[in-house]
Structure 1
Amino acid sequence: MSIQRPSIGEYSSFYESYILALPEGDILAFLNSQINEFSELLQSLTEEKANYRYAEGKWSIKEVLGHINDTERIMSYRLLRIARGDKTPLAGFNESDYVAYAGSERLSVSDLLAEFSAIRTATLLLAKQLDDEAWKRTGTANGAEITARAVIYVLAGHAAHHLNLIRERYLH
């Protein structure tokens, strides 16, 4: 199955940088590769490095991982609802509040990575069962129209964005 990159207009401009930064090719293979990419980069972090913040008020690596996991869950749920033809508008979420209440600093990096792997695997299993018509369906999330295929690209782009930030700002 080939899921075409969504066109501008299938998603809010907020997501444009996530989607346009992704490489061409099989988006599901890319999503799957991110599981190993995160693990290989972060599994050996010390507790001190995992709690590092590159500036005052910025999230730690653990909090970034918790944020990625929360976003994966929310976007995967949006994918399910939209792909199934549910037209009920889906609410947005305040990422800062989610991070503040998540308690990710209490978890180990290995637990956060295992959680990411589990959620991403579930997302991939959902994606693999969708047909061409499901990928074209639209819904409303956070007040904006979005297609199911745009949601899957946002998931990949969001994780890639944070992986790049971790490399650039945390692991130098």
Structure 2
Amino acid sequence: MQALDRLKSLITEVTELVEAMTEEAFTRKPSIEKWSKQEILGHLCDSALNNHRRFVRFLLSDKPIHIQGYTQDDWVRLQGYQDQYQPGEVLTLWRELNRMIVRVMQQAGEADYRKKGILDDGTEVTLEWLFDDYIEHMIHHKKQLEA
């Protein structure tokens, strides 16, 4: 599947991007209300955690699953990505969580990608849509890391 290959590429691209940054550029907060690049990558760890669980639930269920949202700012704050982690730790966590997602999604067959889920607002989506959305979300934040 194309999205799976894209995720594999993104793991390499983001790793290289972050490893090329200075620690100051990675950890500097543009303002109190804005995330540092380290926190952006931490947010992507939270996204990976939440989406891994969703992907597994899709694969294990024959009925539509409820796809619950999460409070992203609260997760980043509670995890303490800015103050409780070294830059390399956040990168390693992000990379390994996404490698775990690759392994799970390699188990998905065509029929699995058509399985249904229901968002908090009642919108019905498929596993394919959710996985594509996960990739697009990562690409959006990769652009922020590049800036």
Q: Same fold (TM over 0.5)?
A: yes
State the SS of the aligned residue for 2:67.
Answer: coil
State the SS of the aligned residue for 1:58.
Answer: coil
Code of the residue aligned with 1:134 in structure 2: it is D
| Cα RMSD (Å) | 1.6
After TM superposition, the structure 1 = structure 2 runs for residues 12-161 of structure 1, keeping only pairs within 5 Å, are 26-85=2-61, 86-105=63-82, 106-143=84-121, 144-161=123-140
Code of the residue aligned with 2:72 in structure 1: it is E
- Residue 162 of structure 1 corresponds to which residue in structure 2? 141
Deviates more, 1:27-36 or 1:137-146: 137-146
Between the aligned partners of 1:71 and 1:61, the Cα distance in structure 2 is 15
Between the aligned partners of 2:9 and 2:87, the Cα distance in structure 1 is 19
Consecutive unaligned residues of structure 1, counting only runs of 5 or more, are 3-25
What fraction of aligned residue pairs are identical, expressed as a percent? 22
Code of the residue aligned with 2:132 in structure 1: it is Y
Consecutive unaligned residues of structure 2, counting only runs of 5 or more, are none
**In the TM superposition, what whole-angstrom CA distance separates every residue of 1:86-121 from its partner, at most 9, and x where no partner exists?**
534232101011111111112122111111111111
TM-score, structure 1 as length reference: 0.77
State the SS of the aligned residue for 1:164.
Answer: helix
Q: Which runs of 4+ in 1 moved over 4 A?
A: none
State the SS of the aligned residue for 2:30.
Answer: coil
State the SS of the aligned residue for 2:73.
Answer: helix
Between the aligned partners of 1:72 and 1:54, the Cα distance in structure 2 is 24
Cα distance, 1:44 vs. partner? Answer: 3.8
Between the aligned partners of 2:119 and 2:50, the Cα distance in structure 1 is 10
Q: Is the 8 A contact 2:65 2:116 kept in 1?
A: no
TM-score, structure 2 as length reference: 0.89
**In the TM superposition, what whole-angstrom CA distance separates every residue of 1:25-78 from its partner, at most 9, and x where no partner exists?**
x21111001111111111143332222123441001111111001001111211
Q: Which has the higher contact order (CA 8 A, sep 6+)?
A: 1
